[in-house]
Amino acid sequence: MSKQRIVVVGNGMVGHKFIDTIIGNDETKYEVITFSEESRLAYDRVQLSYFFSGKTAEDLALTDAAYYEENGIKFVLNDKVVDLDFDNRNVITASGRVESYDKLVLATGSYPFVPPIPGNDQEHCHVYRTIDDLEDITKSGETSKTGVVIGGGLLGLEAGNALVNLGVETHIVEFAPRLMAVQLDDGGGALLKRKIEDLGVHVHTEKATTEIVAGKTSRYRMNFADGSHLETDMIIFSAGIRPQDELARKTGIPIGERGGIVINNHCETGVEDVYAIGECALWENFIFGLVAPGYQMAKVAAAHMHGDSETEFTGADMSTKLKLLGIDVASIGEVHGKTPGAQSYTYHDEIEQVYKRLIVSADGTKMVGAVLVGDVEAYGTLLQLKLNDMNLPANPSVLILPSSGGEEAAGMGVDALPDTAAICSCFDVSKGDIKNAVAAGCCSMGELKASTKAATGCGGCSALAKQVLDSELASLGFEVKKDICEHFAYSRQELADIIRVKKIKTFSALLDDCGSGLGCEICKPAVANILAAYWNEYVLEDAHVGLQDTNDNYLGNMQKDGTYSVVPRMPGGEVTPDGLIVIGQVAKEFNLYTKVTGGARVDLFGAQLHELPTIWKKLVDAGFETGHAYGKSLRTVKSCVGNTWCRYGVKNSIGFAIDLENRYKGLRSPHKVKFGVSGCTRECAEAQGKDFGLIATDGGWNLYFGGNGGMRPRHGDLFASDLTDEQVRTYVDRIYMFYIRTADRLQRTSVWLENLEGGIEYLREVIINDSLNINAELEAEMDNNVANYQCEWKTTIESPEKLKRFKHFINSDEGDSKLAFKIIRGQRFPLAKEIEITELV
Amino acid sequence: MDMTSSNTNWTDICPINDLTPDAGICALYNEQQVAIFLCKQTNSVYAVGNFDPFGEANVLSRGIIGSTEDITYVASPLYKQRFNLATGECLDSEEHKIKTFNVRIENEQVQLKEAS
């Protein structure tokens, strides 16, 4: 059977979702081709604003050319479909390209509505929809002091946030009497306005712009209907969206009175084999301007093409929860008093600036809607009550009242939710889906995210998803098995607690206490690491030597041919010319491959076991210490020169970096740890990509935590701002030890943080407010580690007994005769298996 | 070299004190690299070929000793495949087996002999 040819017009979020779904249904059955008038494949428009806080177009991308190519999807960018020929089943593009279809999907999305105000088409007047728009806005921002957003809805406030990020004085002009008129009631809108104004953003409501003319003090002047005016250098129109139905209009596909391509419950349009999905589609006279309903339509259309006519689109919930300008806002259900007899409960805290209103049915048993501003914790519970039409508790006010004295908020437990309850609306994951995932073996949020994608979109449901996960695990009688291996029925964290509390100093003592068998390559290095983190004894003591991975065991990283790398420590990346000369001499003498690392130091490769002591003797004599490149321990503290040399530096980042590196060097932890210290907000040391990152500001240090590069790069979360050197050391001491105490084996700080219930806020509670009352212990443990630091290489070369092991043969002075090398670019490389090393010209 | 005599006789390698408890060392024996392990808990000595057939490097003496059920094994330091120290069988792949040697402690000396 030949493949069905599906043409998808538009490669936005929903178009991409459709493609992903249909090839997921059966990739062999379909040939898919998609067109985009934009220059990029689908990207995440929901996260568009993050473009201004540093995300790039690549970060926002939902897919890439490689993925499409791998899956046989053809795509055409920068070419708009301008006509359809239903008789011959062809689409025709602006460039004249003609492609045939068996099924056609219109996913053309929407366009921003620009009010017909005279002067609205001048330079520096923008809309807020695509990455290209944002690039134009950024450009205008460079030459503007003041900026105005016309429209105080959801997207308008995001655009306002963009202007704030660009550093221009920001005004929001709204026609209606309140902000977010669709989602909020008067009380919520008023508090939101106040909060936004507290941030220095000017909000003007009930203003109708009549014209945009040349300004006196700024580039433009906006005149309002009430006679007032406002001067500004740039304008962003964000006055709502309109369905992009131009193509449908032109070709006679039925359109609604006020626009939008009319679809039925299968997302079919009025023309055979033509579907419409997303913001261009009109269902029951309604346009859904959110991504989740668009995704549902994509799935329905894909299912229908695949022969499933049971799955239908039957409307979608328009509840939203988001953070605008750092302010939490949520809206659920109907909030404008259109439900007859509805009554409401209102909680309004002017001090903390929290507004919550719960609207209930006339008989008080069901929820109608809710508005939350400033505190949206109740969102998950309220949304489920609404979506599942559940009965309210006897006293519904408890749902919005702040919980008192540590009592659990009187919400509804997740157990009360039906299996059909949607937990993650971005990826349409129901409670039932999570149950199935748990039954199939998911035991952690990380696993759940990987298998269901729940909580990986906007992330708004992560707390709820975690609750469902935990409750499922518990109800299945799952004792979550976290045993480190067959020799210990304990997790790494439990072993660390046992070692700390019982003051156990050796692996064999631990094995006697709570283990069995001989141990293995999993538990031995893990325990060696914990012992080192608490007692900080020399890792090559007789009792420890057999526990170490070969890297720790021979104080170097084993390379693929069995040789080792040599990495002297260079705190902060600082090295004297004399030091550099010694490194060069050593490398030359032992013919070591030499490379500068990303951690701002020098790696020497290819040293044999018996050469290590001589090499290190020379390095130690020249004042170098081991760089612990082999340990799960502090690696490097990357730094810029800061205010010592740099014209822009605000603080002495290099000095502080050296201090920090010297304080934490050698400290073993569940995984390697890197620091970055930047002397100003230009962030040349890439501190946000490190486990601990420090950025100097006029007010002090900003401390970031939980960043990393590697397979899944992550920026650190801002832990605290404007800290003194001493505060940084104290907080880092505590966080570092808390991580050592509680992380899993080989768990980076980023993953640890993500799995920490309560996240960065909980961590702040523990570290800053001492909520667990352990800070004194943590600091004492760190002080003990710092006091017991030793350069392991120095200790080793001073011990003839230890040096006996640094020979290839116990009974001969020869080296490994099997080693073979090849010279490339003037240096040697191992001639190892499977690697064809070719010289690059 | 007289292979017959060295094959049938025990050869002194090193004093017992040169072995590291619960870890391995490598010895040169009949032009072969032999990994020798001293396991304190079970009070046993093992000898196997030093060559890791997966990583194709002479590194097994630098692996970690472990146990699963009642098998004592060494895990390669390169890619962690486990080899039964008594039989040389790989626990993670039936295709690979490493050589074993007879080993004993006699008069405080570690001695090797080719396995028959």
CA distance B45 to A793: 29
> Structural domain of residue B101, as residue ranges?
3-114
Given a cut of 60, whether residue B3 has pLDDT beyond it is no
Classified as helix, coil or strand, A419 is: coil
CATH number of domain containing B67: 2.102.10.10
A518 and B20: CB-CB below 8 Å? no
Phi, psi dihedrals of residue A445, rounded to the nearest 5° = -60, -40
State residue A453's pLDDT score: 82
State residue A480's pLDDT score: 52
Which of B56, B62, B72 is closest, CB to CB, to A518?
B72
B68 and A486: CB-CB below 8 Å? yes
B57 and A561: CB-CB below 8 Å? yes
Question: Least CA distance to A518: which residue of chain B?
Answer: B67
Mutate to test the interface with B, among A811, A816, A833 (most CBs of B within 10 A): A811
How close is the nearest chain B Cα to the Cα of A347, in Å?
A: 60
Question: Least CA distance to A485: which residue of chain B?
Answer: B68
Domain spanning A4-110+243-305: CATH superfamily:
FAD/NAD(P)-binding domain (3.50.50.60)
CA distance A305 to A635: 54
Q: Does A817 touch chain B (CB under 8 A)?
A: no
How close is the nearest chain A Cα to the Cα of B30, in Å?
A: 12
How close is the nearest chain A Cα to the Cα of B25, in Å?
A: 7
Q: Does A833 touch chain B (CB under 8 A)?
A: yes
CATH of A551-631 given 3.90.480.10, 1.20.1600.10, 3.30.420.40, 3.10.180.10: 3.90.480.10
Each domain of chain A, given as residue ranges in start order, spans: 4-110+243-305, 125-239, 492-548, 551-631, 632-789
Interaxial angle between packed helices A492-501 and A725-742, expressed in degrees from 0 to 180 and rounded to the nearest 10:
110
Q: Does B86 touch chain A (CB under 8 A)?
A: no
CA distance B98 to B88: 5
How many residue pairs bridge chain A and chain B with CB atoms within 8 Å of each other? Answer: 100
State residue B1's pLDDT score: 39
A80 close to A96: Cβ distance less than 8 angstroms? no
CATH topology of domain A125-239: FAD/NAD(P)-binding domain (3.50.50)
B57 and A562: CB-CB below 8 Å? yes
Q: Does A550 touch chain B (CB under 8 A)?
A: yes
State residue A674's pLDDT score: 96
Mutate to test the interface with A, among B12, B41, B54, B62 (most CBs of A within 10 A): B62
What is the side-by-side order of every strand in the sheet holding B44-49?
B23-29, B32-39, B44-49
State residue A837's pLDDT score: 42
CA distance A118 to A210: 7
CA distance A136 to A126: 8
pLDDT < 70: residue spans in chain A: 1, 403-413, 457-460, 477-482, 711, 832-841
Q: Does B44 touch chain A (CB under 8 A)?
A: no
A226 close to A209: Cβ distance less than 8 angstroms? no
Chain B CB contacts of A525 below 8 Å: 64
Q: Which residues contact A352 (CB under 8 A, 6 or more apart)?
A: A374, A375
CA distance A411 to A565: 57
Given a cut of 50, whether residue B2 has pLDDT beyond it is no
| Residue A55, both tokens | 């995300």
CA distance B39 to B65: 8
How close is the nearest chain B Cα to the Cα of A662, in Å?
A: 30
Classified as helix, coil or strand, A119 is: coil
How close is the nearest chain B Cα to the Cα of A834, in Å?
A: 10
Q: Does A820 touch chain B (CB under 8 A)?
A: no
Write out pLDDT tens, residues A400-439.
887 543 333 334 567 777 788 878 877 778 888 998 888 8
B82 and A560: CB-CB below 8 Å? no
Q: Does A525 touch chain B (CB under 8 A)?
A: yes
State residue A605's pLDDT score: 96
A458: left (phi over 0), alpha (psi -120 to 50) or beta: alpha
Q: Which residues contact B66 (CB under 8 A, 6 or more apart)?
A: A518, A519, A520, A521, A524, B72, B73, B74, B75, B82
A125 close to A239: Cβ distance less than 8 angstroms? no
A562 and B58: CB-CB below 8 Å? yes
Which of B14, B41, B62 is closest, CB to CB, to A811?
B14
Chain A CB contacts of B111 below 8 Å: none
Write out pLDDT tens, residues A715-729.
999 999 999 999 999
A808 and B62: CB-CB below 8 Å? no
Chain A CB contacts of B78 below 8 Å: 558, 560, 562
A235 close to A222: Cβ distance less than 8 angstroms? yes
Based on the structure, what is the number of domains in chain B? Answer: 1
Let me know if the fold of A4-110+243-305 is the same as that of A125-239.
Answer: yes
Q: Does A558 touch chain B (CB under 8 A)?
A: yes
Q: Does A55 touch chain B (CB under 8 A)?
A: no
* Amino acid type, A470: D
Write the secondary structure of A460-496 as one string of H (helix), E (strand) and C (coil). CCHHHHHHHHHHHHHHCCCCCCCCCECCECCCHHHHH
Q: CA distances (Å), A388 to each of A362, A364, A370, A417, in order?
A: 18, 16, 15, 8
CATH number, domain A632-789: 3.30.413.10
Q: CB count, 10 Å around CB of A102? A: 15
